[in-house]
Amino acid sequence: MSEVSKKRRALLAGMAGGLGAIGAGDSRPLAPDDPTKLQGPPPTEVGERSPFERPRRTVMKNEPASSSRTPLQDLTGIITPSDLHFERHHAGVPRIDPERYTLLIHGLVERPTIFTLADLKRFPSVSRLYFLECSGNGGEALRDPKGDLTPQEIDGLTSVSEWTGVPLALLFREVGALPDARWFLAEGSDAAVMTRSVPMGKAWDDAMIAYAQNGEALRPETGYPARLLLPGWEGNANVKWIRRLELAERPFFTREETAKYTDPLPGGKTRMFSFEMDAKSIITFPAYPTKLASRGHWEVTGIAWSGRGRITRVELSVDGGRSFTDAELQEPVLPKCHTRFRKLWNWQGEPATLVSRATDETGYVQPTREDFLAVRGADTRYHFNHLRAWKVRGDGSVEFALV
C-alpha cells in the first residue's frame, strides 16, 4: 500500500470515529460531533461549498433542458455565483477554442477588422455589475399562478455578475464606424446562429464585449470566450459566443426579432425592438415554501431592478396592496443592477398578503397585474413585470398569490 493510500485510510478511519450518529434515512451530510478533535482535509485546487449548503439551479417542468433558473431565495446580496447564473440556450452550448476565436467587425466601417481574443484583451478594459434577464422571465406569475411557485420558478431567469471586457465604443472607433451606421447586427457562434439587430446608440452608451465574469473567464454557458453585453436590455439581444458585428443603416429584421421576441399588443398590433427591461421587484423571503416558525419580528427581503437605471424606491404592503410603506434599499444601489431591499415586519399570526412595488429613476412604477394586462394584453409573451405577492396564512405557511 502506498504512503498516500495509508494516509487516506487513516484519515477516513479518524473521520468515521469522530462522526456523530445519523439515521440511515437522514439526508444531512456527515459531520463530527466535535470538529476541534479531528483534523480536516487539505486544501484543493478548486474550492467547494460546504456540503450543508446546496443551492441549485432548476429546470422548469414545462421548459426544454436549455433553460435553468437561479435560486433567488437562497442568495444574499446582489452578486450571483457564476455556477448559479441562469441559462437560456436555443441550440446548446458550443465548444470554442479561445486560440482560434475571432470577432469580425465590418459593414459601414472604414477598416473591416478581425479581432482575436488576445487583440480584445489589449484594449483598456472595464468591469461593471449588471443584471441579465430573459425577456420571458416571470411568465409563470401571469399564465400559471399556482400557490406552490418559488421565487426561483417565478423570476429565476435573472442574475447579476461583475462583467469585464472592452467597451464596444472603443472597437467601433478602432474600425472607423461611419456616420450612416444606425444599427448593427450581432451574430453568435452557436448552432442557432443567434442574430439580433441593435441600435448604434447602445454601442456608444454602455455596451461591451465581455470576456470575463466574476473575476474569471466567462463560463461556457454564459458565452465563453466572448459575448455581447447590453446592460439593462433583454437577454436574447445580449448575443453569446459573439463572432460577427455588421454595421448598417437599418435593422436586419432577423428571425429572432420577427417570428420571436416581439410583443403582441391589444388590437392586433405588435411591439418590436422592446429592448429595455422594465422595473420589477420580488420578495424572496418569506416566500413559498417557507413557513414562519413563530410570531414576532421577521425581516422581509427581496430584490428590485430596472433596465432604465437605478431603483429609487421599493414599497412593501402587508394587506395585498391596499397600503404601502417604504422599504430600506441596501447599498450599493447601482444602475441596471439588482438592488436588495429589506423591512422589519412584526407578524402576530394574522393572515397577510405581502407585496413589493419598485420605482426606478425615470419615475416608472411597477404596475399591478390588471394594469399590466390592460397595456400589454393577455397574449403577451415577454417583459412580465407586474406585482408579485405572497399570502401568509395563520399557521405561518406561505404561498404565491395574485393581487
| Any domain includes 319 | yes
Query: What's the pLDDT tens digit per position in 277-334?
Result: 999 999 999 999 999 999 999 999 999 999 999 999 999 999 999 999 999 999 999 9
Which among 236, 271, 306 is the end of a domain? 271
Q: What is the CATH number of the domain that holds 395?
A: 2.60.40.650
Same domain, yes or no: 97 and 240:
yes
Separation between Cα atoms, residue 16 and residue 36, nearest integer Å:
15
Q: Sorting pLDDT into bands at 50, 70 and 90, what band is 64?
A: low
Same domain, yes or no: 174 and 315:
no
Task: Please give the pLDDT value at position 62.
Answer: 61
Q: How many domains does the chain have?
A: 3
Q: What is the CATH number of the domain that holds 139?
A: 3.90.420.10
Task: Please give the pLDDT value at position 238.
Answer: 98
Query: What's the pLDDT tens digit per position in 79-106?
Result: 999 999 999 988 889 999 999 999 999 9
Separation between Cα atoms, residue 165 and residue 168, nearest integer Å:
9
Please give the C-alpha separations between residue 70 and each of 57, 132, 307, in angstroms, as whole numbers: 5, 11, 19
Phi/psi for 354 (5° steps) reads: -90, 130
Q: Sorting pLDDT into bands at 50, 70 and 90, what band is 60?
A: low
Same domain, yes or no: 266 and 284:
no
Q: Sorting pLDDT into bands at 50, 70 and 90, what band is 28?
A: confident
Domain assignment of residue 28, given as a range = 1-54
Query: What's the pLDDT tens digit per position in 164-196?
Result: 999 999 999 999 999 999 999 999 999 999 999
Same domain, yes or no: 248 and 116:
yes
| Any domain includes 182 | yes
Task: Please give the pLDDT value at position 69.
Answer: 96
| Any domain includes 59 | no
Task: Please give the pLDDT value at position 67.
Answer: 85
| Any domain includes 61 | no
Task: Please give the pLDDT value at position 140.
Answer: 86
Sign of CA dihedral 60, 66, 70, 71: positive
Phi/psi for 317 (5° steps) reads: -125, 145
Nine-digit cell string for 210: 465581455
Beta-carbon-side half-sphere exposure of residue 152 (alpha carbons within 13 Å): 22
Same domain, yes or no: 285 and 261:
no
| Any domain includes 60 | no
Same domain, yes or no: 247 and 104:
yes
Q: Which of 233-237, 248-252, 256-260, 382-386 has the lowest mean pLDDT?
A: 256-260
DSSP letter string, 236-253: GGS-SSEEEEEEESS---
Task: Please give the pLDDT value at position 144.
Answer: 66
| Any domain includes 98 | yes
Same domain, yes or no: 257 and 375:
no
Separation between Cα atoms, residue 144 and residue 157, nearest integer Å:
16
Same domain, yes or no: 154 and 229:
yes
Nine-digit cell string for 102: 475571432
Same domain, yes or no: 46 and 90:
no
Nine-digit cell string for 58: 432548476
Same domain, yes or no: 240 and 104:
yes
Same domain, yes or no: 250 and 121:
yes
Q: Quote helix, strand, coil % in the chain, to nearest 5.
A: 20, 30, 50
Which among 271, 297, 323 is the end of a domain? 271
Same domain, yes or no: 74 and 23:
no
Give the mean pLDDT of the chain: 91
Residue 20 reports pLDDT greater than 60: no
| Any domain includes 26 | yes
Which among 271, 301, 318 is the end of a domain? 271
Q: Sorting pLDDT into bands at 50, 70 and 90, what band is 26?
A: low
Provide the 10 A C-beta neighbour count for residue 77.
11
| Any domain includes 257 | yes
Q: Where are the alpha helices (DSSP H) in 78-137?
A: 117-122
Percent of the chain with pLDDT over 90: 78
